[in-house]
Amino acid sequence: MRDCGRRCVYCAAALEFDFATLDHVHPLSHGGAHAPGNVVLACGRCNRLKGDLLPNEFFIRFPWAGANFIRYAHAAHRAHKRCARRAVSLAYAA
């Protein structure tokens, strides 16, 4: 909870411990690991919205989520943050 400032890393909504869910940034179904750099806290709505999308697919579709991810996902792996930065810059450049 401290690593994300008690906020959903995708929509930035305030999180209560009882309603926070774990999300695998790179989904397990696509070969992602259950490791600290790949697991972040998200609200249930955003976790369902992301589903098993790969990070680049999710951040391209929802650039606002990528912008919040860059800001709040402090413990996320650097590769995931680079992916979010690329997707957000592409989305807002168009």
| Run means of pLDDT, 10 residues per run, the chain, 94 residues | 85 91 95 93 96 94 94 91 92 76
What's the whole-model pTM score?
0.90
Q: pLDDT per residue over 16-36, tens digit each?
A: 988 899 999 999 999 999 998
Domain extent listing, the chain: 2-93
- CA 87 – CA 64 distance, rounded (Å): 10
Per-residue confidence (pLDDT) for residue 1, from 0 to 100: 66
Going from the C-alpha of 94 to that of each of 7, 12, 60, 90, the distances in angstroms are 28, 24, 11, 6
Does the CA dihedral 48-4-29-58 come out positive or negative? Answer: positive
CATH architecture, range 2-93: Orthogonal Bundle (1.10)
